[in-house]
Amino acid sequence: MLEAGLTPAMRVLADLLESRTGQKLSEARRWRIETSLKPVLKAHRLSSLDSLAAAIIADAGGALAQAAVDALLNNETCFFRDAQLFRMVADDLFPALMAADGRGRRERTLHLWCAGCSTGQEAYSLAMLFRTHQDRWPDWRLRITATDISAEAIGRARQGLFSQNEVQRGLPINELLRWFEPSGDQWRIDPSLREMIDFRAANLFDERPPAHPYAAVFCRNVLLYFSGERKSRLLDILSRALDSGGYLLLGAGETVIGQRSQFVASHQFRGVYERIGAPLFDPVI
C-alpha cells in the first residue's frame, strides 16, 4: 500500500533518495519535489515525474538517478548562518580549543570537519573568521575538511564562485570587500581561504570518517533529515571522528539528547555538545 500523499513515481524517488543518502523525503519536502526536479526534467527532456521515475528504473548507468538525488538534496545554506554562533566560535570556542591540553599543541593546527557542507559557505565562513582574528592566535593554522554527499555541491564549493544573491545572504559588505573579487556576474573567494579547506564528496555513513581526529565537528541542519536509527549511527560516526573533549555543533533545534551517551551538553558553550570518554578515532590507513 502506498504511503499517504505519495504517487508511485514519488515513491520511486523517495526510495532512491533514502537508499543513496539515508535521507527521508519528509512531508515538508514533498510539496517541492516537482520544483526541485524541474531542471532535471528539462535537461533530460522528460515531461513528468512518472516519465522520470520510469527512465531512472531503465537507466543502467545511474547518471540520471544521481542527477535526481542531487536535485532532491536540500543545499540550503548561507554565509555566517546563525551569526550569534559564529561570534561564540571566534570569542570562546577557538580560544578554548587552542588552550586544550594535548590537542593540536605540537603542530598548532586546529582541525575542523564541516559534515554536510553543501556549497561551502559554512566552511568559508569559519576560514574568514579565523583569519580575521589571526592576530589573536598568530602561531596557529586552521585546516578544515568539508564533506557533502552531493558531488555537484562540492564542485561548486571547490570553485569558490558565488552568485550576487549568495554573497548578500549573511555576509556583511565589509567581508565581501575583504575576501571576494568580482568575476563576471559572480564573486570569487580569496584563494588563500580556499587553500585552508579540503572539500570532498563523501557519504556521512561511510565506514570511516575522513582522516584526522577533529577538535570540532560542525554538522548543522543535517540530523533533521534522518530517522532515529540513522541519527544514532551518524552520531556514532561523528563521535569517532572527534578528539576526546572535542565539540559537536548541531543546528538550532537539533540535539543528541535521547540518542547517544558519548556526548554531553557543554557547560561552557550553549547549544554545543562535548565528546566524552576515551578517543575512538580509527585512522584511515
Partner 1 sequence: MQNGTREANMKNCLVVDDSKVIRKVARHILESLNIRVSEACDGRDALNQCQNAEHDVVLLDWNMPVMSGMEFLQQLSSINVARPKVIFCTTENGLGHIRAALDAGADEYVMKPFDRDILESKLQQVGVI
Q: Contact region for partner 1 (CB under 8 A) — 143-151, 171-179, 189-197, 233-241?
A: 171-179
The Cα–Cα gap between 223 and 230 comes to 9
Q: For the chain, state the CA radius of gyration.
A: 20
Q: Which is nearer to partner 1, 187 or 281 (CB)?
A: 187
Residue 129 binds to partner 1 (criterion: CB under 8 A):
no
- Shortest gap between Cβ of 32 and partner 1 (angstroms)? 16
The count of residues interacting with partner 1 (CB under 8 A) is 13
Residue 266 binds to partner 1 (criterion: CB under 8 A):
no
Q: Which is nearer to partner 1, 32 or 105 (CB)?
A: 32
Helix (H, G, I), strand (E, B) or coil at 226: coil
Identify which of 97, 73, 223 has the alpha carbon closest to the alpha carbon of residue 154: 73
The Cα–Cα gap between 118 and 126 comes to 14
The Cα–Cα gap between 233 and 231 comes to 5
184 CB-near residues (< 8 Å, 6+ apart): none
Can you tell me which of 1, 28, 58, 177 binds partner 1, judged by CB under 8 A?
177
Residue 168 binds to partner 1 (criterion: CB under 8 A):
yes
Contact 241, 207 (CB under 8 A): no
- Shortest gap between Cβ of 130 and partner 1 (angstroms)? 20
Pairing of strands 180-183, 197-201: unpaired
Residue type at position 202: A
- Shortest gap between Cβ of 170 and partner 1 (angstroms)? 6
Q: Which is nearer to partner 1, 86 or 281 (CB)?
A: 86
Contact 266, 256 (CB under 8 A): no
Can you tell me which of 53, 78, 97, 112 binds partner 1, judged by CB under 8 A?
78
Residue 163 binds to partner 1 (criterion: CB under 8 A):
no
Q: Which is nearer to partner 1, 76 or 207 (CB)?
A: 76
- Shortest gap between Cβ of 281 and partner 1 (angstroms)? 37
- Shortest gap between Cβ of 188 and partner 1 (angstroms)? 13
Contact 222, 255 (CB under 8 A): no
Strands in 186-189's sheet, in edge-to-edge order, are: 161-163, 186-189, 180-183
- Shortest gap between Cβ of 36 and partner 1 (angstroms)? 18
Which cell is 108 given? Answer: 598548532
Residue 276 binds to partner 1 (criterion: CB under 8 A):
no
Sign of CA dihedral 171, 173, 179, 181: positive
Residue 120 binds to partner 1 (criterion: CB under 8 A):
no
Q: Contact region for partner 1 (CB under 8 A) — 87-95, 166-174, 230-238, 262-270?
A: 166-174
Looking up cell 555543533 gives 249
Can you tell me which of 116, 120, 170, 246 binds partner 1, judged by CB under 8 A?
170
Residue 119 binds to partner 1 (criterion: CB under 8 A):
no
Question: What is the binding site for partner 1 (CB under 8 A)?
Answer: 78, 83, 164-165, 168-170, 172-174, 176-177, 182
